[in-house]
Amino acid sequence: MENYSIRIDIPEVDEYLALRKVCGLSDRGKDASKIGLSNSIHSVIIRRSADQKLVGMGRLIGDGGTAYQIVDIAVHPSEQGKGLAKNIMQLLMTHIENEVDPQAYVNLIADCPADNLYKQFGFVETTPESLGMYLKR
């Protein structure tokens, strides 16, 4: 991690949207993103040391008591394969282990093959007991 700085912080809105786009994540509105980022429970960012460019991020969102979701796990394609996503997850999981009630529900939606990363941190598939759904608009 000598070429990177990793911090507990939220990204700027424009760089958040840019990283989502380059990583192939779905579009988000600028105003909604500003609100969402400011309401993060815990957020991890990674910047490249040489130019301070945002190259990785991940957030924990939720109600602060019983339900949480890990979202926005993203690493710039040019920086993938260097363990950055694992570092992001480790910091999010440390916060969960230290600050979140053990009976709280913590979930995420995993794109494949990223599910292999999340399994390393104890996440399991919900099927067949339940399955993830979203409102398609």
- Output the CA–CA distances (angstroms, integers) from residue 17 to 2, 20, 72, 108, in the order listed: 26, 5, 10, 20
Find where tokens 């490249």 sit. Answer: 48
Task: Specify if 127 maps to a domain.
Answer: no
pLDDT given at position 2 = 85
Flag residues of the chain having pLDDT under 50: none
Task: Give me the number of domains the chain comprises.
Answer: 1
pLDDT given at position 86 = 98
Q: Which domain holds residue 109?
A: 4-119
pLDDT given at position 1 = 74
CATH number at residue 52: 3.40.630.30
